Amino acid sequence: MTTPLAPLNPDEVQVGTSNGPGIYLAPAGTQGPPDTVSEWPSPWRSLGYLSDDGPTIASSIDTEDLTPWQSRTPIRTIITARAMTLQFVLWQLNADTLSLYFDSDAPEPEPDGSLHMEVRSDSPQHLHAVGIDARDGDRVFRLAFRRASLSDAGDVQLEAGAAVPLDVTLSALDDAGVLADLLLGPAVDAEPQTAAPLTASAAAARTAARTAAATAGTTAGGGDK
């Protein structure tokens, strides 16, 4: 019986719970943490609460079939385009979340937290870096777009008894051939391995061996005189 190429391993089944805040935004071009243990450094900042659906990663490709004159069946399929998106629903209303949803310049809040933001029709599109961070037990999954722009925004429904939703979709943009950085690994650094302590009998044997070697060396040295 041959061993399956992809064995059934329940340890590789991961639940998508957030790792801390779990959703981060930064200026375009910012790279995420180098591993699954390091913190998200500045200028990454949390976007706060998301709806309980969590973030959704989507990946799609466009293809072109090559069908020769002599056949009605393609002999090759070429990938002509690739796209990745990240969709989530923000639940907190502040300068970061509102400016992201409306693709506007982030206003400077007043000392009391109030703000005024102009949603303009003549402003250029804004670029961002965005990252998500999920953890299940001692395994962490991270994904970051180094460059992304708003590609869709859902309706904002003001409903009694429900959080005001800011439904945004960000599309990854090419960054020198890279669409996204994906990390999967442990939640904490592996503890350094240390040598096992010697048992009493092993320690006594080592001491006896060292004493015997020293005695033999002394005897040999005396015979040379």
* Residue-by-residue DSSP string for 98-143: HHHHTT-PPP---TTS-------SSSPPPEEEEEEEEEETTEEEEE
The series of mean pLDDT values per 10 residues for the chain, 225 residues long, is 77 95 97 96 97 97 97 97 98 97 94 94 95 97 98 96 97 96 90 53 62 56 49
Gyration radius of the chain over CA positions: 29
At residue 209, the pLDDT reads 61
What whole-number distance in Å separates Cα of residue 81 and Cα of residue 61? 5
At residue 225, the pLDDT reads 42
Secondary structure (3-state) at 181: strand
Predicted TM-score (pTM) of the model is 0.79
DSSP category for residue 175: B
Q: Residue 21: name the closest of 50, 57, 1, 60 by CA.
A: 50
